[in-house]
Amino acid sequence: MSTQRREGPFNGDILNSGDAFWRAYIETRASPSEAFFKLINNYHKQNGNPCSAVAHDVGTGPGNIARRLLPYFDHVVGSDVNEKALDAARALIPADDLRHMTFVACPAEALARAPLLPEHAGPGKTDLVVVSECMPLLDAPRAMEAFHALLRPGGTLAIYFYGRPVFVGERAATYNAMYGAIAAAAHRCLHPLQGSPSFAAYHRSATTLCSWLDNVEVPPASWERVERRKWNNDHNLAFSGPEGYDFEFGAVDRTHAAETKVEAIDREFWGAEMGVDRLVAYLGSALLGYRDRPETADQVVKVDELIQELKVAMGDEDSKKARVTFTVSLILATKTA
């Protein structure tokens, strides 16, 4: 997941943490299936210019997604504004893989002007740009311009976001409601959002997730063969529903008629077995630092009470796990020739 630095939930000393923090961070995150990356690669091969020389993972964080692109591309660039995360990527990724990778500290919106990009991966020379998790944090129009400038004509843009876990099985409705209550309570630990210096960023992020990325325009003059794919969109893409926020927001639709739209309720998609501790850690990786604010200590107590209730409901055993899937939104587009 991205750590693109913005005013908002991903700021703070926690983003200056070292390798141990980032190793644990990777372990708490959902792991996209290989079929998901094959879907992106198949789209790339079947559309535009199917060259496989250079891929670029925007908002790469500790590089776990950038590394997943190596089987498909000769060289992978990972960019992020958090230099500590990039240091962790260089430390955690095996040396044999690092020989085929470059990490660059740069905001997404400025990538077309990044001075440290390798010559062979500069503007107009990238085959695939993957934007993993960070789109809600970005100035979308400026970021889209930068991605367009990076790609070669016929290159592929893949923007995706995966959100809350969705329980599967006989008690799914009960567990989903309980986890939703935990997520909303944890989100309230970050209040006040409205009126804070970070409010614009929080509002942009909430709108993007509520919209399932449909508020991100893909201009037809610059892009073609646009696909918008959603999985398990009968649940929130965000971890928390509106009850976790202290301001109003709603979905925005900037899609175009020619775009292909595919929706699937697939409870096996990215299927995983997770215990309560892992599920809570995953929530913490999305709401970094929500437990650390002294002024909301009482709210953290409420979160812990709700977590304990879920543990009891699931069997109150450390090893007890439940089957989950995830909410996922993916945009695919080809740069016009």
261 forms bridges with which residues in the sheet?
228
Distance CA 17, CA 187 (A): 22
Instruction: Kindly state the helix (H) or strand (E) to which residue 80 belongs, with its residue range.
Output: strand 75-80
Quote the longest CA-to-CA distance of the chain: 57
Do residues 55 and 73 make contact, with C-beta atoms less than 8 angstroms apart?
Answer: yes
The phi and psi torsions of 240 (rounded to 5 degrees) equal -110, 145
Distance CA 160, CA 119 (A): 27
pLDDT of the residue at 49: 84
Instruction: Kindly state the helix (H) or strand (E) to which residue 88 belongs, with its residue range.
Output: helix 83-92
pLDDT of the residue at 1: 46
**Amino acid (1-letter code) at residue 75:** H
**Amino acid (1-letter code) at residue 212:** W
Q: How far is CA 222 from the centre of its chain?
A: 24
Distance CA 301, CA 189 (A): 10
pLDDT of the residue at 48: 84
pLDDT of the residue at 5: 41
224 forms bridges with which residues in the sheet?
334
Q: Which residues of the chain have pLDDT under 70?
A: 1-16, 316-319
Do residues 282 and 28 make contact, with C-beta atoms less than 8 angstroms apart?
Answer: yes
Distance CA 66, CA 145 (A): 21
Decide the pairing of beta strands 272-275 and 260-264. unpaired
Distance CA 22, CA 6 (A): 19
Distance CA 188, CA 168 (A): 26
Do residues 314 and 320 make contact, with C-beta atoms less than 8 angstroms apart?
Answer: yes
Q: Which fold has domain 13-335?
A: Rossmann fold (3.40.50)
Distance CA 182, CA 277 (A): 13
Q: How far is CA 38 from the centre of its chain?
A: 18
Distance CA 170, CA 175 (A): 10
Q: Which residues contact 94 (CB under 8 A, 6 or more apart)?
A: none
- Residue 15's alpha-carbon distances to 82, 234, 301, 325, in angstroms, are 7, 32, 24, 28
- Supply the pTM of this predicted model: 0.94
**Amino acid (1-letter code) at residue 37:** F
Q: Which residues contact 286 (CB under 8 A, 6 or more apart)?
A: 1, 239
Distance CA 262, CA 226 (A): 11
166 forms bridges with which residues in the sheet?
325
